[in-house]
Amino acid sequence: LNMSSLTPSQIQQTTELAQKWLSQDKFPQTRARIQSLVEQKDFATLSQILSTRISFGTAGLRGKIEAGYACMNELIVTQTSQGLVKYVESQLGKGSVVIGHDARHKSKIFALLTAQVFLIKGWKVYLFSDIVPTPFVPFAINDLGAQCGIMITASHNPKQDNGYKLYWNNGCQIVSPHDKGISEEIMKNLDIWPEMDVTCSRVHEQVDDPYDRVLKSYMEKIKQYSYVSKDDNPYQENVVFTAMHGVGAKFVTEAFKSFNLPPYIPVEKQITPDPEFPTVQYPNPEEGKGALKLAIEKAEEVNSRLILANDPDSDRLAVAERQHNGEWRIFNGNEIALLLASWVFDNFKKTHSPEEVKKVVMVSSTVSSKILRAMAEKEGFIWEDTLTGFKWIGNKADEYVKKGYNFLFGFEVEIGFVVGDISLDKDGVRVAAVFNEMANHVYSQKNNLSDQLEVLYKRYGYFMMATRYFFCYEDSLMTKIFSQIRKMENDTYPTKIDNYKIKFVRDLTMGYDNSREGNAPVLPVDPTNQMVTFTFEDGSSCTLRNSGTEPKLKWYVEVCADTKEEALKKQEDLVQKMIKTLLNPEENGLVAPKD
């Protein structure tokens, strides 16, 4: 977009938007930025940052830190908080709120502004005085009995981004229609309230700091997920840990202490919080060996065979292990989940009656591996799948907990896991401790984690999933690709992908599922997001969806076979044919990730 591409009427509209912004913005830095662009007559940049408003969805807000309605900045955070407090009061009444923040640029001031808005309305505000991992906010909501919680974080997004994440009174992320109600209230509260002090100079005097209390309570309550005493299992493996320049170092240290585990060996260059993320292009351990390069180098240096990694806000966990042949294997989310699920279930079974075992519940997202379903069928517990996003997993778990069931484990393939019900959002802190203890047990049996996976695959079936994405920067292109898929064969869905015959189609955008009576899906329909799943006659499946927070078209392919070799061969074949047939990246201009 450049000035020559703007019509006179667009320039006029942009000028009016700039004046509107300046009439609302009381924050010197962003005011100066917009004023400067106006003086330079840089209408192209002004149009980009002012013509659309960053939308409040079930994941809250996430975007680039910059002046303007389309971005993350002090005015947007203040307006959002003003609308939010009005909405929560209308739904739950006045009460208390938990507010936390990570170490990203602007996180502290965004948290202070949010706290001040709630203080103005007479709320009790629990504001963490220092950086915390995202899992501390949903935990604190339950622990302190708060109405809601806000975490200022952009998770594993690039360094120029920040975000605003909302949790409801059950400690779970919100689901629709709360996002729509909040958006409406935001638009009714765009003028900064006169009581607001943009410097936030007195906020610390008025809030309650829950940091010490919540830290102590959390570390005490996670001990129930430690199943091995030191006397029973003296084997202790050296583990390398990276916080990926995020907040995790202190909290994983404390979690290991709670489990009587030896201290981890830190990746020094990544262990201290740094909003610039200087050693990684993307601070996302899910990206694979590129993101874990320094951790692998450290593990080689200290002769450790196990690496654990958090993303910057410590709600995800990545795992890598050096194999018997010396090569490194990075486990995907399904593999980590299978190891964790079998560990927590086997230990629960040892100390509970058969009746209690029947009331065990595990939940996973619908794009994650169905191996938990196979495990549930064999072991006699309850499994459910949900839409993608931990908000669905957490809220489904909450339903079961309230009915008296034993929620043990939930996961999504994007390396998000939760063990137990002390909080119901993904948690890379307590899961790091659980995983380390489990790994120690496996190693004490003279096996490694890959060996243990083989044991579990032989028990439950060889489920193999490949998952990746293409960058898709235009919403119109995303819509076009999914429209093509829906009209691929005789103006409707395809009946096969090469030699793979399609048995069922589930389209949660259009509300269609031909595996169900009346073609009506059980999972919630969302016309604002793209998601299509094909189930093949041989039991394999393929799901395509748009990411809700990044410009990505994500794909997931899972196969099941009697042997590992057969599963891997089938997986590779189906992935290639799916990409060529359904996505056609060259013709559609989809951009593959570099590694």
Catalytic site residues? 155
DSSP 8-state code for residue 410: E
Identify the sign of the CA torsion 346, 351, 355, 359: negative
Place of tokens 């199943």: 227
Q: Give the integer Cα–Cα distance in Å for 390 and 401.
A: 16
The C-alpha angle 62, 65, 193, rounded to 5 degrees, equals: 85
Q: Give the burial class of 483: count Cβ atoms within 10 A of its Cβ; 0-12 exposed, 13-18 middle, 19 or more buried.
A: exposed
Peptide bond into 354 cis (omega under 30): no
> Which H, E and C letters describe 46-109, residue by residue?
HHHHHCCCCCCECCEEEEEECCCCCCECHHHHHHHHHHHHHHHHHHHCCCEEEEEECCCCCHHH
Q: Which residues contact 487 (CB under 8 A, 6 or more apart)?
A: none
Q: Give me the numbers of helices (H) and strands (E) for the chain, helices first please.
A: 21, 21
> Which H, E and C letters describe 289-313, residue by residue?
CCCCHHHHHHHHHHCCCEEEEECCC
Q: Give the integer Cα–Cα distance in Å for 33 and 552.
A: 30
Give one DSSP letter per residue of 374-398, joined into a string: HHHHHHT-EEEEE-SSHHHHHHHHH
Identify the sign of the CA torsion 260, 261, 262, 266: negative
Q: Tell me if 112 sits within 8 A of 188, measured CB to CB.
A: no
Q: Give the integer Cα–Cα distance in Å for 444 and 293.
A: 27
Q: Give φ, ψ of 304 to 5 degrees.
A: -105, 145
